[in-house]
Structure 1
Amino acid sequence: MDYIDGYVAAVPAANKDAYVAIARDAGKVFLEYGATRVVESWGDDVPAGEVTSFAMAVKVKADEVVVFAFVTWPDKATRDTGHAKAAEDPRLNTGNVPPFDSKRMVYGGFQMVLDMSAD
């Protein structure tokens, strides 16, 4: 089954266009290096929790929106190779400051165990 990289971040609402532009550029690189799908989602209905929540995980501030994203890879080996290539790619290593606080981003790699759809 596929391998998934998942991400949750807090992005200032005013930086939406800049975030989408950077995500699009990174997505192109990941697809070039073996990813099969890149999905970026701008929070629309992300409730604040009392014990835990996406918002709490990334310490979202009043002017920020929670972003949920994932990248699908055919397997972990392809993902690991793709990440290594992306880390060296000058298109991603511009030295520009990202339009969000990347220190509060939560991310991880996941082995897919179930994949269902209506198709």
Structure 2
Amino acid sequence: MSYIDGFVIAVPTANRQKFIEHAKTGDSVFIEYGATRVLECWGDDVPVGKQTDFRKAVQAKDDETVVFSWIEWPDKATRDAGMKKMMGDDPDPRVDPAKNPMPFDGARLIYGGFAPVVELVA
């Protein structure tokens, strides 16, 4: 079964195109290092919850849009090796923030790795 990295980000709505360009550059590196699929999803129907929600989780401001993203890997070993190549002792320059700056506040990015427990396919 696959392994998934998930991300939730608050991106200034005005930076939508900058975000897309940033993602295309960085996401191609994930694919090169073994990811099988990367999705970057611009918030379209993100309701405000009574106790918690995506907006609260990333402290999104009124002029920001929530982005939900994930990277699919064939397994955790491939993910770990790919991440090491990207961000290890000799990081890939294509993901260097000085060369491909994040068009959002990275301090409010939420991420984690997940092992699927149920998968249904149509």
TM surpasses 0.5: yes
Q: For residue 65 of structure 1, give the secondary structure of its aligned residue in structure 2.
A: strand
Q: Tell me the number of residue pairs that the alignment of Structure 1 and Structure 2 aligns.
A: 118
Counterpart of 1:92 in structure 2 is 95
TM-score, normalised by the number of residues in structure 1: 0.95
Q: For residue 68 of structure 2, give the secondary structure of its aligned residue in structure 1.
A: strand
Q: RMSD of aligned C-alpha atoms?
A: 0.9
Counterpart of 2:65 in structure 1 is 65
- Structure 1: segments with no counterpart, 5+ residues: none
Letter in 2 for 1:83: M
Q: For residue 59 of structure 1, give the secondary structure of its aligned residue in structure 2.
A: coil
Q: What is the correspondence of 1:97-108 to structure 2 with a 5 Å cutoff?
A: 97-108=101-112
TM-score, normalised by the number of residues in structure 2: 0.93
| Cα drift, residue 86 of structure 1 | 1.1
After the TM superposition, list the runs of 4 or more consecutive aligned residues in structure 1 that deviate by more than 2 angstroms.
none
Counterpart of 1:5 in structure 2 is 5
State the distance in 2 between where 1:103 and 1:49 align. 22
Q: After superposing the two structures, state which structure 1 stretch, 86-95 or 17-26, moved more.
A: 86-95
State the distance in 2 between where 1:26 and 1:100 align. 14
Counterpart of 2:15 in structure 1 is 15
Matched, 1:32 2:32: yes
Q: After superposing the two structures, state which structure 1 stretch, 96-105 or 45-54, moved more.
A: 96-105
Counterpart of 1:46 in structure 2 is 46
| Deviations 1:83-108 (CA, angstroms, capped at 9, x unpaired) | 11111101111515311001001100
Q: For residue 91 of structure 1, give the secondary structure of its aligned residue in structure 2.
A: helix
Aligned sequence identity (%):
53
| Deviations 1:52-75 (CA, angstroms, capped at 9, x unpaired) | 110110001000000000000011
| Deviations 1:5-28 (CA, angstroms, capped at 9, x unpaired) | 000000000000000111111110
State the distance in 2 between where 1:45 and 1:94 align. 30
- Structure 2: segments with no counterpart, 5+ residues: none
